[in-house]
Structure 1
Amino acid sequence: MRLLVPIVAILIGLAFAFAIATGRSGTDAPPIPADDETTEQVASAEDAPEAADQPEADPGDQPEQAAPTEGATPDPAVELAGLKAVPTDSPQAPALGATSDESPFKFRIEFTSYGAGLKKITLTDYDQFVDPPKEGEAKPAYHLMDVNQGVAEGAAPAFYPYAAQAVTINGQSVRLDGVQWAADDVVRGDASHSVTYRLPVVGADDQLVAEVVRTWTASADSYDLSLKQQILNHTDAPLEVSFQQYAQGDVLTDLGAYLGDRRMFITGHFRDEKPPKFGIYVDDSFIPRNDLIKQKRTLWPNEDLPVRKNPRLAWLAAENRYFAVITHAPVPESATVTADVPELDGTFPAVSYRVLDQEIDMPQADKQRIAVQLGSAAHTVAPGSSLALDLAVYAGPRKKAVLDEAPYSLMHFDKLIRYELGCTWCTFQWLAKGLLGYLKGLNWLVKDWGIAIIILVLTVRLLLHPITKRAQTNMMKMSKQMGKLQPEMATLKEKYKDDPTALNRETMKLYREAGINPANMLGCLPMLLQTPIWIALYAMLYFAIELRHEPAFYGVFQSISGGAWHFLEDLSVSDNFIRFIPPEQPAYKLTWLPFIEPEFRSLNVLPLLMAVVFFFQMKLTTPPPQTDQQRQQQMIMKFMPFMFPIFLYSAPAGLTLYICCSTFAGIVDSYIVRKHVREQEEAGTLFEKKPVKPGGFRDRMQKRFEMAAQMAAERQAEIEKQKKASGGGNKNYKKRK
């Protein structure tokens, strides 16, 4: 039974891991045009073809259009032939948002003139790397989205997020992302920055038919980026218009993601409930990016959602380990409840995605990109009127303090904060959030996350000490009692080797005579109560953004080295005792291991120390083997400590620090328990029977064991009686048996 706990824990860990598994800047260039099957590369900006040479969008590539809205209908006599977009002769793409660390803006947005889309999103409140900047250089801010990262020099990006893709006017499709738009009305104030992009659409006679206008606005102290877009009718007749555009693509992966690519796409949706639009839900809506790459899932409508609930799309999110980009409809300033939040599919009912190939020049980089596409319904636009198709984009952290603010709280963005590894319910979210709250309180008190983690270890160990003490004491008592009975057990096995039922009956009788209560074997099971805590802590320490770029022990290792020693400077990545590869360069990865992808960019000592501590703990707590089976099991278990340095080599330092400290505390805990047992044994009180409370758990379990033994004995007696009554039918009985 002493080996039962680690074996069961390993099996639970393997099952849990299985659940996890089944879960440079470049030139501004026209995007790669998307075809149904393959993607053809396009030349760089210097070789960009003229607007007339740009390929028109294939109508088969466009999202399915809804029926025209009610109102004025297009005049069938008005024929529009040869529609084309007119690119600007002087393209510009001014950036919006922060220009310095002192800026009140939360991000810096870089645009492209192609489709008036986005090139790069940089969060100014978060650093890209924890390393201090080089002399004369500013510390780089965090890049949440960058279409040019990893793109081969001279190659075009696969697409530009949020770029206008195509407009369909009276059945004719005009491609918008392959031409450069004119930028004007650039406004930079203290409270907001904005830029307006315009693209005329003319007919064969070069007469202006329509104009697409997109105005991007970034507001100070907000993670929301506003997109106000209009399609203006410049003709004397109504036009039937539909619009297609890109939404977000892939967000970038985060450092320290040793569990592999954990990026997700999430669709927040309304249910058909009363009162209507009471809440926004994300159940069955977490879609791993790799599933979309392999085209195993649909994005929206989500095939996992019950049709009877009539789900309506509220927002669409793409997330990595700590951050998210969320596309949603603008929320009115007057909104006070979730029912005031408009549906995203009210503006863009068609939502799809496309997997595009990308020319890269980085080793181990993903050469495929996901492009989310939005399509509007067909609307009738009266002469001199416009069609509004406004959007908003959240680009920021998955942090409760931010997402609890309006309007994010009305849209329930806080449901993106999860501490799970492929399975939400089995990672005990309530426990993970409670542990994080306690850890944040400790950090507020001691002002250091490393010290807070150690105090958390001591707290958990103290809370579990009574359970651990009882479990270990029972196991040690059972081990000693079973050791004394080994000669008699061997005799019984030899005597009843051909009769398992009799062996079980006599074994139970031997236990009763020796004063061994089989119910005490369950004393080891309370140790499994620690498993939910381990799982919740594992997930919480990995995904908690509060630990990102936070040093341990007040940054003492950086202080004594003048910032040159990277040991424990960031608890969200490996400990970096000796670093060989800087964080901005790709590290060597082991991709052949199941469930994880360890990185090797430094010598990490905490996983090695963990193996040493595990070895000594096993040496201290493993009793001498009493049987050959136990001896074989212990031989297998001896190899387990040497697997942890591999599986946890690039794990976050906050996690490995917790495991090391917890294991060391477990050794101390075991020493105290063993000392207590030894003192009881010397005093002769170790095997004193405590009175069993009538009706209690032990009393009920003991009665169940006795009842089971009695029933087994009665069955055996009945069998013996039938054998005797058969009169020499023993051989036939054995054959039937």
Structure 2
Amino acid sequence: MNDNWRIFVALGLTMLVLVGWNLLFPPQQIQEQSRNQTQSSPQQAEQKADSRSPTPEKPQPEADGALSSDAQAVFSAGGSKTLQVDTPLYTAVFSSQGGILKHFYLKNYKETIEPDSPPIDLVSKKTLAKAPMGLLWNRSPVWQNAEWSVQGQDVQLSGGESAQLVFRGEIHNGLEIVRTFTFQADSYAVDEDLKVRNAGDSYVSGVLSLTMASSGLVANESRYNTTSIAHYANQHLNKEDDKDDLGLGIASDNPVNWAGVDSNYFLLSVVPTSQDMFFKGKLEDSVYRVALEQNTGIEPGQSEQIAASYYLGPKEQKHLAQVGNNLIGALHYGWLNIIARPLVQVLKFFYTYVGNYGVAIILLTFVIKLIFWPLSHKSYKSMEKMKKIQPMMKELKEKYKDDRQKMNQELMQLYKTYKVNPAGGCLPMLLQIPVFIGLYEALLGAVELRHASFISHFPFTDIVWLADLSSKDPFYITPVVMGLSMFLQQKLSPTAGDPTQAKIMMIMPIFLTFIFLNFPAGLVVYFLTNNLLSIFQQWRLMRKA
């Protein structure tokens, strides 16, 4: 393989590391699926429902992983009233018909960056058709098949206050259901104490399911931010965003800590207290749906109690940690999460002092550059040494072009004589790659950057510019400047002895500029700042030399 082909390969590998690594190392996918064994058609589900006797035997674990059919899931608001819960964090609207969630507005998160933009509603009209926070008994919707009453009224909370709403329902087979919702002023979680009582004179068994639904948590999905169905089990976060797989339905073989609908920034989840609930999920009619199930058997006059929480809000560490049961595991930044999470904490630390996440990103870049300054300096010095012996290397290659073994021996002797390590310029850079990738993931997944402004308008104008660090630069100014900085950095760097190789390396800034055009602005600000600092370091080294 000649030297030009080596440069082509090196360029391809560099692009792979900078841009395509997440394609090779995707987030951990669903590990506990049993699609073929767990699916059943709506007709099969109806046949099972029709064949149930009033006094079935105690339940055995079921393999049915499909959620309820459309006819069962559609929620009718007719004849019901609504109750509103207002806290400093959200406004929730419930239906008296089974405690179904009709709206959930996040007060601190707007749909767009416009000043008059309404708050995000996590429950759309399409979502309501699948009854978020609804209960299923033997995969039949109890919000439709029961007579409901409600105890309580509209709630207004502030400070450290809490309040409750109680929903009572009676099913025709003698089951009495009591759902007690508890709301905290400082939490996005809605806690439920569920009691199912057998008021009849016969043993009753069935499958009890707690559900959640969302029509999507991302307005404009991209490869950087998608809606997925996630669950946490065995100390691992499992996510699935492939719509074809979700359309078939997914399920767990083991009990889970929690399950929900997930994106980079928001999470809707069911978090049970018990450790024996199984997960299932499905994408149906463009609505992501999850259910946590438990086989239940109740003797006459006895009752079954289940405690759970429903979390609907941003993926912020302090709020996720309040819920427990490893819900904090939802805050996962990808392959190098172990590096990304502390970087986010440092970013938030800087923000508390400067009040601007764009400035915080620049300060974080300075810190990272300072830490790796000695390694970068060593790399640049090694490249300078290689540049100085390039003429001698060229002579040896020409002299021994027909004897590769001899040429390699002479080159190694040359390196030894001038104390040059050919890999000295690359190894220090390779050590920095995990940190760069970790920061890349951190900036992509940090909800703090959503709608966070850096330079909201062009100076002395009313033209909106970098008003949202989670979105691309609308005028592509920062990625173009970043490309120019890479070009200057290439000019300052020691070039290869072969002019053809040098020209090939100059193509890289063009490739990366094109790729960075649609990157979130926060990422471009980081890379631009890093390039400028690298240019400064190279300039100092050249001046000193």
Q: Map Cα deviations across residues 73-132 of structure 1 (whole Å, 9 max, x no partner).
A: xxxxxxxxxxx9xx999622414322xxxxx35322233566643233222233332220
Secondary structure at the aligned position of 1:643 is classed as helix
Identify the match of residue 383 of structure 2 among 454, 475, 500.
475
- Tell me the secondary structure at the aligned position of residue 424 of structure 2: helix
SS in 2 for 1:96: strand
Match of 2:508 in 1: 640
Residue identity in the other structure for 1:132: P
The aligned counterpart of 2:152 is 186
Q: 1:696 aligns to what?
A: none
SS at 2:132 equivalent? coil
- Which residue pairs with 2:34 in the alignment? none
Hey, which of these two has a bigger chunk of strand by percent?
2
Deviation of 1:178 (Å) = 5.0
What residue is the counterpart of 2:431 in the other structure? 529
The answer to whether the 8 A contact 2:259-2:292 is kept is: no
Matched, 1:617 2:545: no
Would you say 1:549 and 2:502 are equivalent positions? no
Is 1:119 aligned to 2:72, yes or no? no
Q: Which amino acid aligns with 1:9?
A: T
- 1:674 corresponding residue in structure 2: 542
Contact kept, 8 Å, 2:382 with 2:421, in 1: the verdict is no
Question: TM-score if structure 2 supplies the norm length?
Answer: 0.80
Partner of 1:289: 241
- Given that 1:114 and 1:163 are in contact with CA atoms closer than 8 Å, whether structure 2 keeps it comes out as no
Counterpart of 1:326?
269
SS in 1 for 2:258: strand
Asked whether the equivalents of residues 253 and 261 of structure 1 are also in contact (C-alpha less than 8 Å), the reply is no
Identity of aligned residues (%): 20
For residue 500 of structure 1, what is the aligned residue in structure 2?
Answer: 404
> Cα gap change, 1:376/1:57 in structure 2, threshold over 3 Å: closer, same or farther?
farther
**Separation in 2, partners of 1:466, 1:375:** 55
Give the Cα–Cα distance (whole angstroms) in 2 for the partners of residues 530 and 61 of structure 1: 62
Deviation at 1:647, TM superposition (A): 2.4
1:659: how far off?
Answer: 0.9
Kindly provide the amino acid, as one letter, of the partner of residue 187 in structure 1: Q
Who is 1:225 aligned against?
190
Change in 2 beyond 3 A, CA 1:294/1:392: closer
- Confirm whether residue 445 of structure 1 aligns to residue 363 of structure 2: no
Deviation at 1:536, TM superposition (A): 1.4
Letter in 1 for 2:80: Q
Alpha-carbon spacing, 1:566–1:252, altered in 2? closer, same or farther (3 Å)? farther
Distance 1:344 1:91 in 2: 37
Q: Distance in 1 between matches of 2:50 and 2:369?
A: 59
3-state DSSP of counterpart to 1:419: coil
Match status 1:268 vs 2:268:
no
Structure 1 length-normalised TM: 0.61
Partner of 2:421: 519
Aligned to 1:388: 305
2:397 — aligned with what? 489
Report deviation, 1:322: 1.7
- Aligned counterpart in structure 1 of residue 223 of structure 2, from 259, 272, 275: 259
Matched ranges for 1:126-165 at <5 A? 126-133=109-116, 139-148=117-126, 159-165=130-136
The CA deviation at 1:641 is: 2.0
- Computing the radius of gyration from Cα coordinates, the structure with the larger value is 1
Q: 2:497 corresponds to which residue? A: 626
1:176 aligns with 2:142: yes
Match of 1:110 in 2: 93
| 8 Å Cα contact 1:184-1:196 kept in structure 2 | yes
Superimposed CA distance per residue, residues 456-500 of structure 1 (whole angstroms, 9 cap, x where no aligned partner)? 22333333333222212221221221224423431221xxx1x43
Q: Distance in 1 between matches of 2:306 and 2:317?
A: 30
Shift of 1:450: 1.9
Residue 607 of structure 1: CA displacement?
A: 1.7
Instruction: From the superposition, tell whether residues 386 and 468 of structure 1 become closer, same or farther in structure 2 (CA, over 3 Å).
Output: closer
Moved more, 186-195 or 635-644: 186-195
Counterpart AA for 1:13: L
Which secondary structure does the structure 2 equivalent of 1:253 belong to? coil
Aligned counterpart, 2:33: none
The answer to whether the 8 A contact 2:147-2:171 is kept is: no
Question: Residues 11 and 109 from structure 1, CA distance in 2 versus in 1: closer, same or farther, beyond 3 angstroms?
Answer: same
CA drift of 1:37 comes to 4.1
SS at match of 2:310: strand
Alignment of 1:565 with 2:463, yes or no, is: yes
Are 2:295 and 1:343 aligned? no
Amino acid at match of 1:225: V
Residues in 2 aligned to 1:119 and 1:67: alpha-carbon distance in whole angstroms: 36
CA distance in 2, matches of 1:393, 1:21: 28
Q: Deviations over 1:593-629 (max 9, x none)?
A: xxxxxxxxxx332222222222232233252x533xx
Q: Does 1:238 align with 2:185?
A: no
Tell me the residue number matched to 1:371.
289
Structure 2: which amino acid aligns with 1:548? Answer: R
Counting matched residue pairs gives 510
Cα deviation digits, residues 653-701 of structure 1 (max 9, x gap): 2111111121122222222222223xxxxxxxxxxxxxxxxxxxxxxxx
Match of 1:81 in 2: none
User: 2:231 aligns to what SS in structure 1?
Assistant: strand
Contact 2:132 2:211 in 1 (8 A): yes
Tell me the residue number matched to 1:731: none
Q: Is the 8 A contact 1:113 1:181 kept in 2?
A: no
Whether contact under 8 Å (1:233, 1:382) holds in the other structure is yes
Instruction: Write the letter of the residue equivalent to 1:254.
Output: V
Which whole-Å CA distance do the structure 2 matches of 1:5 and 1:119 have between them? 55
- CA pair 58-199 structure 1, distance change in 2 beyond 3 A: farther
Q: What secondary structure is seen at the aligned counterpart in 1 of 2:438?
A: helix
Q: Give 5+ residue unaligned stretches, structure 1.
A: 24-34, 40-54, 70-83, 99-103, 134-138, 150-156, 168-172, 204-208, 270-280, 303-311, 330-341, 359-367, 577-602, 678-737
Q: Is the 8 A contact 1:258 1:651 kept in 2?
A: no
- How far apart in 2 are the matches of 1:520 and 1:222? 56
Rate the CA distance shift 1:93–1:216 in 2: closer, same or farther, 3 A. Answer: farther
